[in-house]
A and B are shown apart, each in its own frame.
Chain A
Amino acid sequence: MTNFTTSTQLDETERAVDGATILTVNALRVTAGAAPGGRTLVSEVSFQLGRGETLGVVGESGSGKSLTAKAVVGLLPGGLRAQGSIDFAGHQLIDATHRTWRTLRGPRISLLLQDPFTMLNPLQTAGTHLAESLRRDKSLDRGARRAEIARRLGEVGLAPEVADQYPFQLSGGMRQRVALAAALARDPELLIADEPTTALDVTTQAEVLQLLKDIQRRRGMSLMLITHDLRVAFSICDRVQVMYAGLLMEQSPAAVLATDPGHPYSAGLLIADPPVTHYVAELTAIPGSVPHAEDVVDTCAFAARCSWVKPECTAAKPPLVSVGPSRTSACLRLDEIREELRSTLDRIDDPAPPPALPAADNAVVTVTELRKTFHTRRLVGKARHTMALDGVNLQIAHGESVGVVGETGSGKTTIARSLLGLVTPDSGQISLDGMDVSNYRRLSRLTRREARRFVQMVFQDPYTSLNPSLSIGTTLREVLSVRGDVTDPGEEVASLLGRVGLPASYAQRRPATLSGGERQRVAIARAIALRPRLLVCDEPVAALDVSAQAQVLELLRDIRRSDELSTLFITHDLSVVRQMTDRIIVLYHGQIVEAGDTATVLDNPQHTYTQRLLKAAPGVLSGADHAADPAWGEGEA
Chain B
Amino acid sequence: MTIALFLLRRLGGMVVLLLVLSLLVFGLLALSPVSELTTLLGTQPSTPEAVQAITAEYHLNDPFLVQYWHWLVDALHGNFGQSIQSGEPVGSVIVSHLPVTLELALYAGLLVLVLGVPVGMAAGIRRGRVFDRGVSGLTIVGMSAPGFSLGILLIYVFGVALNWFPVFGPGGDQAADRVAHLTLPSIALAAGLIALIVRQTRAATMHVMEQDYVTFARARGISRPRIMVSYALRNTGLPIVTAAGLQLIVAISGTVLVESVFSIPGAGQLMVQSIQSADIPVVQGLSFFVALLVMVVNLIVDVAVLIIDPRTRAAARG
Contact = CB atoms under 8 A, between A and B. Distances in A.
B212 A118 contact: yes
Main secondary structure, interface of A, reads loop
A166 B216 contact: no
Contact of B221 (A102, A113, A115, A119): A102
A111 B220 contact: yes
A229 B220 CA distance: 25
Interface stretch (A278-286, A374-382, A485-493): A374-382
A119 B216 contact: yes
Contacts of A500: none
Given A119-B212, A124-B230, A381-B315, A73 B310 contact: no
Contact of A183 (B212, B220, B308): B220
B316 interface: yes
B231 A169 contact: no
A168 B216 contact: no
B220 A380 contact: no
Contact of A380 (B6, B212, B222, B230): B6
Interface string A264-307: 00000000000000000000000000000000000000000000
Q: Which of A104, A107, A112, A119 has the most CB of B within 10 A?
A: A119
Interface in A370-428: 378-382, 384
A381 B315 CA distance: 5
Interface in B189-239: 211-213, 215-222, 226, 230-231, 234-235
A470 interface: no
Given A111-B220, A133-B222, A168 B215 contact: no
B5 interface: yes
Nearest to B234: A123
B62 interface: no
A379 B216 contact: no
Contacts, number: 104
B122 to A, nearest CB: 16
B2 interface: yes
A186 B215 contact: no
A105 B220 contact: yes
A132 B226 contact: yes
Given A166-B310, A166-B311, A381-B316, A118 B211 contact: yes
Contacts of B217: 121
Interface string A162-188: 000010110000000001001101100
Main secondary structure, interface of B, reads helix
Interface residues of B, number: 34
Q: Which of B6, B220, B306, B313 has the most CB of A within 10 A?
A: B220
Nearest to A117: B212
B185 to A, nearest CB: 36
B161 interface: no
A438 interface: no
B221 A379 contact: no
Contacts of B2: 380-381
B47 interface: no
A132 B5 contact: no
Contact of A123 (B128, B212, B310): B310
B117 to A, nearest CB: 17
A121 B235 contact: yes
A169 B218 contact: no
B20 interface: no
Given A121-B213, A121-B235, A123-B235, A380 B221 contact: no
B87 interface: no
B57 interface: no
Given A121-B230, A132-B226, A182 B220 contact: yes
Given A121-B235, A123-B308, A124-B230, A379 B220 contact: no
A360 interface: no
Q: Which of B213, B306, B312, B318 has the most CB of A within 10 A?
A: B213
Interface of B: 2-3, 5-6, 127-128, 211-213, 215-222, 226, 230-231, 234-235, 306, 308-318
Interface of A: 73, 75, 78, 102, 104-107, 110-113, 115, 118-125, 132-133, 166, 168-169, 179, 182-183, 185-186, 378-382, 384
